[in-house]
Chains A and B, each alone.
Chain A
Amino acid sequence: MLKHLFTLIWNKKKAHALLIVEIWASFLVLFGLATLIVVNVQNYTEPIGFTYENVWAIGLKNNQDTVALREKLQRVTQRLKSYPDVVSVSRMSSNFPFSANSMNNGVEYNKRKALSDLYATDENFANTLGIAVTEGHWYRSADSVGKYSPIVINQKLKEKLFENENPLGKIIDKRFKVVGVVNTFKAKGEFMSDKPALFELFKPDATWNDTVLIKVKPGTDAVFEAKLVKEIAAMLTGWNVEVDYLTDSRKNQHNLVLVPIIIALIICSFLLINVALGLFGVLNLSIAKRRGEIGLRRALGATGSGISTQFIGEIWVLATFALLIGLLFAAQFPLMNVFDLKAGTYVTAIILAMLIIYGIVTLCALFPSRQAAGIQPATALHEE
């Protein structure tokens, strides 16, 4: 049966060439879209690693003021801690969670290298963002003795640099000493891939680390914020004070990921509807043209379901041809490791795209083949 179908399609390969090209192209489009979605769904399922509700990022810019920055920053931090509405305060570098800024650095341990995101924070950081430390502890000011500055790394960086070794107490790059490990930290939101991250305890005179994260009590609103900004602005004349809610910044980061996906989704579904309609039309016509053949087969005893299976089988063979060609292209992605994604991602995307293609062609063939099955041998043969 299968061999027979192959011969049938092969004999009319010229007439079917365009259909094959169409299915092939749809497969490639679907493969691209599926990869995009699979990657983001995979990222989304990994935990973000911190809490962001009720956390505000206060950006301070010193502008033309260059006098006693360290003391001023410390005074502001102290003042913030004294508010009853503020639960926790932490100072960090400008690449706070969900911000547009990022910093990274290559780190090395025993010839193993990794490119890692770098966050300069203080000892209250884990507390403010509710980060759970899985091994060791979050650094304290007391850890900063000697020439090594204490760091906390995430699981991903631990895997890259240490594999199965115990990272605690190890020295990286002759200047960092690992004191703790956290699980994941996806600073750009749920859709970010889990990348190596490194937290460093900054020195008190690192005045360029001028973002302050505060965790406020639930229900604290803009009235308190206005009071706070007013007071800080009075303490720091000539400085810029800007308050961002992490929940708002998170929405922005998500939009950056979601908007392109939604646009791609709209365009792809329009393309696929187009292709499906075209396929449907072509199949409808070609089956109408084969009335004589169908009538003859029916007269010789073929059942209605046998006829419709034949037509669906034909289109499946056609789709398989197209998909095989498409696979030649798609297989390059996992083989050549394009875009540095896991092979499993591509394989999932390929399987998804194939299933959708088979689904579409089956749907398109279903109605015409049902119609063909309903042809009465007597009428069909009479027309002949």
Chain B
Amino acid sequence: MLTNYIKIAWKVLLRHPFYTFITLFGISLTLTVLMVLTSFLDHLIGSHYPETKRDRMLYVMLMVQRDSAKTGRSSGPMSFKFLTNYAKTLKTPERVTIFSAFNSSNAYVGSQKIKLTTKFTDADFWQVMDFNFLEGKPYNQQNITNGDHVAVITDEFRKHYFSDETESVIGKDIDIENIHYKVIGVIKGSPVTRPVTYADIYFPYTTPKSNYQRDGMRGGFMSILLAKDKSDLPAINNEFQSRISQIPLPGIENGYKYATLEAKSDPYAENFVGQILDGNAGMKAIFFGVIGFVLFMLMGLPAINLVNVNVSRIMERASEIGIRKAFGAPVKTLVWQFIVENIFITLIGGSIALGLSLIVIYLINSSGIIAYADLTINLTVFLVSVLVCLLFGLLSGVLPALRMSKLNIAEALKST
């Protein structure tokens, strides 16, 4: 029976290539846009190179201080000292790393200038992150204690700074703002869309200009707490919060009197959304309103369009329906047939969309718009898309099918 329906559906598709084209165009392009967007979102917040253990990580990125009237606030990354005292000494996590948020610099090769992002990290950074070392190795605790001027660089920077691409660069010297560093490792870089790990050069925090000696609580450092297991995350958060709550309040920081102090340890996704929503409730409502509206339009318009086209298509087949009804086919069978037909079309559209998305994603990855972009269609993204696919099929199938089933036999046969 099912194969019979599919055969009919196939014939119907071939009979009206133009409508088939409109329907497939709608389905496949909507799904492509959806899949590319999902894939981009997944690229932003999912667990990918080098933050492959994101599901076991808690990010401590921001400290917020408010005054007693809650009108003033001051926020930003923390000092190395603060994180060493309150995060590094936690008992529950497997490992804790501290690294600087964001620094930039320039390097000069002949008449060429290279813009650089630099990062100061501790030795645990290389254990928490899964960087792929193309050459050499990361710096260890020994390098840090000695205050060695060593650096780990990315392959991209290596290409720009060292002209010879075949020779090993381990042990070579780079000059940045008059300070010389020895290269001890070359890694495959992290994409710029992962601000926590993105940099061109990584230094031990004991090299000059890292400001790790700074007193006070605020500074330029952030931290990641890595759990042994996902289930430990709440326990780690509790331990960290209990540490934070022991800080005496109210206090004074850089002349700013604050009554409350807040330092969250969140999974990355929450952190990511939290920073966008870092405002009042009104802002939040507008933000979600806009997102909801865009999503509604993105899905709703093509869906309405599909229903429209389907209604016309099915009405056109009134005579066929009339004859089948006259021969005693119950409404249920007819509705079922049209739903199967629609799901069939949607699935064809879905597979076209899959192909298109693969092409678009390949283009984005290879175009270099985002260096080291690794957008992929993973299983979840694909399953979500297929689910949406089916939803579309049902949505655009049920309404016309119901309408058609109400058709009067005599009326339908008359128009033949």
Contacts and interface: CB of A to CB of B under 8 A. Distances in A.
A31 to B, nearest CB: 11
B304 interface: yes
Given A223-B110, A234-B178, A22 B19 contact: no
Nearest to A271: B301
Contacts of B214: 64
A107 interface: no
A242 B106 contact: yes
A22 B113 contact: no
A164 interface: no
Given A29-B301, A233-B177, A275-B305, A243 B103 contact: no
A282 interface: yes
A63 interface: yes
Contact of A277 (B26, B304, B307, B315): B26
A229 B108 contact: yes
Interface in A14-41: 18-19, 21-22, 25-26, 28-29
Interface string B174-210: 0001110000000000000000000000000000110
Secondary structure dominating the interface of A: helix
B71 interface: no
B297 A285 contact: no
Interface string B312-336: 1101100000000000000000000
Nearest to B30: A274
A359 B309 CA distance: 21
B22 A275 contact: no
B47 interface: no
A64 B213 contact: yes
Contacts of A21: 304
B29 interface: yes
Contacts of B106: 225, 229, 242-243
A50 B248 CA distance: 49
A83 interface: no
B211 interface: yes
A222 B112 CA distance: 6
Interface string B53-65: 0000000000000
A238 interface: yes
A133 interface: no
A64 B312 contact: no
A21 B21 CA distance: 22
Contact of B302 (A19, A271, A282, A286): A271
What 8 A-B pairs are tightest by C-beta distance, nearest first? Answer: A226-B108, A278-B305, A233-B178, A222-B113, A285-B312, A277-B22, A233-B177, A223-B111
Interface of B: 18-19, 21-22, 25-26, 29-30, 33, 103-106, 108, 110-113, 177-179, 208-209, 211, 213-214, 297-298, 300-302, 304-309, 311-313, 315-316
Given A29-B297, A222-B112, A229-B177, 7 more contacts: A25-B300, A64-B213, A225-B108, A277-B305, A278-B22, A281-B19, A289-B316
